[in-house]
Structure 1
Amino acid sequence: MISLFPIAKIRCASILIYAVVCLSTNFAHASETGQKVSLLFAGDIVLDGQPGKWITKGKDPFSAFAAVFASTDIRIANLECVVAKEGQAADKNFTFRAEPESLSVLKRHVDAVSIANNHSGDFGRAAFSEMLTHLQKNQIQYFGGGNNLSEAHRPLIIERKGLRIALLGYNEFMPRSFEAGTASAGIAWSEDEQLVLDIQQARLHYKADLVIPFMHWGWENEHHSNQRQQHLAKKMIDAGADAVIGGHPHVLQETSTYKGKPIIYSIGNFMIDALDNEAQTLGWVIRLELDKHGVTVWDSRVAKISDEGIPEPQAQLASACWVRGDKQTRLCSNVDTGFSPAQIQRSGALPKALAN
């Protein structure tokens, strides 16, 4: 008599293999066509001064934007200060140092920060190294700086819904003396050849699906990008970047598109009380929706910064937005706090400040 048990086992194994293949295929298909990730960028954040005093009093200076931040999968900001107790102030017009306790509030709203800017080194390398420890302790990821040159240029890889996103940060504004060294802590300085190599390595070595540099560049209080920014933005996209986001001028600058990839030259300030003109009180919070092929749509929300350095949403204003395939930036409503690409509508002629 022939036993049917081995045949049953073979059939069960075949069914199991088939099921696994089907599930894997369906997941891969979902990752390619259905799964999208939203990514938020906020501008310069200084947790010193009045915003720091708010935190000391138990208040949350991010509270007015909490819903906007919560509407995205990943939240990124530029941390425009050192967070430490150690160090001596550098000989500069402005130096910013925040209390380590402020990071517990930052953590509620932000997943990662760029530390590639001209204030991370305000209190020296010891304070900078202390900040890295505090960020790690609070589980806030960082990029654009590290304990040595290799770490400073290493991409931060964030994976969501099957997408591997590489974030890189670079500073172009003096002083350069705080650039990371072979064995010394500091920030990533923007050198064209190294930057191109970093973008390529993010894909080849770190297996990133998407690469986005967050730049600290341009001249303060200039409302239009300069030739250096424009040239470098195109070079980064030619190297494989899927979008370029910028800050540092403390004011908003125009947006552009190159090879179907968005360039946002400056998103301005977000939380800072060291302001010296009205234009510096307006900033954008940028939200991008991503798929395997890059940015499908981005929109923005306007932040009006009070005399105390606290951002407030401006629901009555329209601001920049874009949909893949557009050759020009659109204007969109600021009323909705959720991430709703379907609500992006054209609204007539573009103001000069937003034209490509």
Structure 2
Amino acid sequence: MRRSTAAAVGLLLAALLVTACDTPDDAPGDRGTADRDRDRDRDRDTNGAGGEEIFLTFAGDIHFEAHLGRLLRRPREGLGPISHTLSAADITMVNLESSITTRGTPDPKQLEDTDDRYWFRTRSAALDLLDRAGVDVVGLANNHAADYGAVGFADTLRAVTESPVPVVGVGKDREAAFTPHQVTVRGTDVAVFAADASAREGTSSRWAAGRTTPGIASARDTRTGALLDAVRAAADRDELVVVYVHWGTEYDPCPNAGQRTLARDLADAGADVVVGSHPHVLQGAGWLGDTYVAYGLGNFVWYHNSQAETGALRLRVADGRVIADTWLPARIREDGLPRRVVGDAAADARQQWGTLRACTGLSARPAESAGVDAPSGSASAYAFSVRRIGPVLRAEMASSHGPGCPVPWRDLRRVRLTYVGFDGRDHRGAVVVHERYVTDVATVFRRLYDARWPIRQMRPVSDFGGDDDRSMAADNTSAFNCRTVAGQEHWSAHAYGAAVDINPVENPYVVEGSVQPPSGRRFAALDRSPGSPALPGVIVADDVVVEAFREIGWEWGGRWAAPDYQHFYAP
């Protein structure tokens, strides 16, 4: 990135304004623990998704140029009070806008204006300082990581291997540069990438790692294949995929066409979070479908405060997807460090940050939760969340999936959703279906929830050791199970994640004089013709259950010659 050319008097005025809304210089931290907890309480919880929640925090560009270099003399002190904000999350990530070297010479930047060229570097102590400041992952894929030529980049790679904090976005070759940092947080497998999509500044090969040559994880222009392939591979393996991209037009608060295209491509590839920096100013954030995108986080630790507005983005994640966001505003002081703002100034800053969404095409809520309201008298709104089947879930589901299954793990999704129990109260359950049916199945169960139609329980068949008979006997509503049709050799629709069984006891499978499960015998001879009165949980032709599945194009096994009243499937 490049320096602003603002006049010195502008810097002084900006610095004076900061003092009006910063916390005091002698404060022990930017805010106390109680205040940080209240920030979490104010998160915009968009769908009430359950599961083990984790918190991610992202901040923008950091370097240690000019007077900021003095911070490296005392790396144990971190970044001062703002360190409390960074360390409060489970995973915090920033972009380090520098080559890490004290050697080398400035790399020629033939592609830049001669009057607008800058070279940034820092010492390896910067990584120690960021570690102390509460940063968990450092992105180094940017337009300054190779500023000091081959010697400087070799030093940078050496510093990365010795760093106390994981660094992503550079490597000895393309594979290494696009290798994510992987970590498991309370059962959620997370992969974190960094990539550079900013304008290339020189002709050196180091600006883009090659098959056998060192460099940066580059995703410039249309050359995004390596990044998208890496994200797809991670999405098959991990529940939460994060990509930090260096991109955008400097000083433009709106994302450019390239940013918006790459964000869509990353979302389609399976990224759950896409954040970025480079323009020096804040850009809007929100949901692109169920992928969270924050186009620009601005400067964060910078040697001037001409663009003083900054902050930290906190994301609340459940079941591998972002369910809420919170902007924690700050301002860069004259000394180059950010300080949280509070009170009315913070409220105004949050409001201003929200208005930046207007030119992004993003939504204030995930697509699946938009328009969800609680029915009259209900305890809570219907909600659902979607999670990929990563290593943790694969281990839990091993009994229902094995060699030869017609659908690979990468095509399955666990859907957690709200349903009404036989006790009339709201409960949370889960079914596993093929990814192409996620929205349709969630829509069906929304219909049943709104109608207060009762379900006994809803658990994956793997909770019953993959045994369909045990699941039915427990009156369990379920979906995926890698099994053949009873008494036959071909795969059941359940093996494709394309079928759902609902309340098997009340809605048994009746074939050749037998009833499955046996406990459903007293329900086997019920009149299920259209308009017939039904007991709770019993499916009747043309009732809300049959109609809801019909509307998504699924068929009912209750119309078979050997009726399977519990069974709905995609033809």
**What residue number does 2:338 align with?**
311
Taking the aligned partners of 2:369 and 2:106, their CA distance within structure 1 comes to 47
Amino acid paired to 1:138: S
**What residue number does 2:303 align with?**
273
Q: Does 1:193 align with 2:225?
A: yes
Question: How does the TM-score come out when normalised to structure 2?
Answer: 0.48
Q: Give the alignment partner of residue 211 of structure 2, picking from 174, 178, 182.
A: 182
Q: Give the alignment partner of residue 328 of structure 2, picking from 297, 301, 316.
A: 301
For residue 146 of structure 1, report the CA deviation from its aligned partner: 0.8
Amino acid paired to 1:75: T
CA distance 1:238–1:36, shift in 2 (3 Å): same
Give CA-to-partner distance per residue, 1:54-73, whole Å, 9 cap, x none: 33267846112122112111
**What residue number does 2:291 align with?**
261
Taking the aligned partners of 1:249 and 1:210, their CA distance within structure 2 comes to 26
Bigger mean CA offset, 245-254 vs 290-299? 290-299
Amino acid paired to 1:243: V
Taking the aligned partners of 2:311 and 2:370, their CA distance within structure 1 comes to 21
Equivalent residue of 2:81, what SS?
Answer: helix
CA distance 1:105–1:286, shift in 2 (3 Å): same
Write the mapping of 1:195-274 to structure 2, written as runs, cut at 5 A: 195-204=227-236, 207-274=237-304
For residue 213 of structure 1, report the CA deviation from its aligned partner: 1.1
Taking the aligned partners of 1:327 and 1:309, their CA distance within structure 2 comes to 40
Q: Give the alignment partner of residue 179 of structure 2, picking from 145, 149, 154.
A: 154
Taking the aligned partners of 1:312 and 1:152, their CA distance within structure 2 comes to 33
Taking the aligned partners of 1:60 and 1:262, their CA distance within structure 2 comes to 32
Q: Give the alignment partner of residue 53 of structure 1, picking from 70, 73, 80.
A: 70
CA distance 1:212–1:221, shift in 2 (3 Å): same
**What residue number does 1:349 align with?**
none
Taking the aligned partners of 1:169 and 1:304, their CA distance within structure 2 comes to 25
Question: How does the TM-score come out when normalised to structure 1?
Answer: 0.76
CA distance 1:273–1:327, shift in 2 (3 Å): farther
Taking the aligned partners of 1:96 and 1:209, their CA distance within structure 2 comes to 36
Equivalent residue of 2:275, what SS?
Answer: strand
CA contact (8 A) 1:85 1:100 kept: no
**What residue number does 1:104 align with?**
128
**What residue number does 1:114 align with?**
139
Between structure 1 and structure 2, the one with the greater Rg is: 2
Amino acid paired to 2:327: S
For residue 272 of structure 1, report the CA deviation from its aligned partner: 1.1
For residue 179 of structure 1, report the CA deviation from its aligned partner: 1.0
Q: Does 1:143 align with 2:178?
A: no
Equivalent residue of 1:249, what SS?
Answer: coil
Give CA-to-partner distance per residue, 1:78-97, whole Å, 9 cap, x none: 01011212211124511111
CA contact (8 A) 2:78 2:130 kept: no
Give CA-to-partner distance per residue, 1:32-67, whole Å, 9 cap, x none: 943111111111010232221233267846112122
Give CA-to-partner distance per residue, 1:279-329, whole Å, 9 cap, x none: x2222211112122411212121221123311111123232576656769x
Give CA-to-partner distance per residue, 1:219-258, whole Å, 9 cap, x none: 1000111121112111211111112101100100112321
CA distance 1:195–1:58, shift in 2 (3 Å): closer
CA contact (8 A) 1:212 1:242 kept: yes
CA contact (8 A) 2:75 2:125 kept: no
Taking the aligned partners of 2:365 and 2:83, their CA distance within structure 1 comes to 25
Give CA-to-partner distance per residue, 1:80-135, whole Å, 9 cap, x none: 01121221112451111112223322111211111110000111232223223223
Equivalent residue of 2:210, what SS?
Answer: coil
CA distance 1:317–1:146, shift in 2 (3 Å): same
Taking the aligned partners of 2:295 and 2:241, their CA distance within structure 1 comes to 16
CA contact (8 A) 2:128 2:164 kept: no
**What residue number does 1:28 align with?**
none
Amino acid paired to 2:124: P
CA distance 1:58–1:77, shift in 2 (3 Å): closer
CA contact (8 A) 1:81 1:97 kept: yes
CA distance 1:82–1:326, shift in 2 (3 Å): farther
Q: Give the alignment partner of residue 127 of structure 1, picking from 138, 152, 159.
A: 152
CA contact (8 A) 1:224 1:253 kept: yes
**What residue number does 2:87 align with?**
70
CA distance 1:292–1:97, shift in 2 (3 Å): same
